[in-house]
Amino acid sequence: MLRSLGLSVRIYKDDHPPAHVHVVGDGIMKANLEGPDGRPVVVWTRGMTRAEERRAYGLVAENRTLLLDRWREIHGA
């Protein structure tokens, strides 16, 4: 769906709420798109370096509106 900096952001069609994405690079990150303050929140990471975690979070944060719109298209409001 979205690729940048060696990372791929994915929304799975058979997934569950809350609205979230999986970011795949050398490892994987799950991030909720709507945290308490409106910013994304990292749920967990596996196999990512801290630098890759920062890049992944930045990619999600920068594209949050687009990703949230896409989540809603796939899963409904």
CA gap 8, 28 in Å, rounded: 9
Half-sphere exposure of 63 (CA within 13 A, CB side): 21
Q: Is 6 helix (H, G, I), strand (E, B) or coil?
A: coil
pLDDT value, residue 71? 97
**Range 61-75 average pLDDT:** 97
Question: Do 55 and 42 contact (CB within 8 A), yes or no?
Answer: no
Please give the tally of structural domains in the chain. 1
**Range 14-35 average pLDDT:** 97
Q: What is the phi/psi pair of residue 13, to 5°?
A: -65, -30
How far lies 65's CA from each of 26, 38, 42, 50, in Å? 25, 11, 16, 24
- Domain with 29, as residue range(s), is 2-75
pLDDT value, residue 19? 97
pLDDT band at 2 (very low <50, low <70, confident <90, very high): very high
pLDDT band at 1 (very low <50, low <70, confident <90, very high): confident
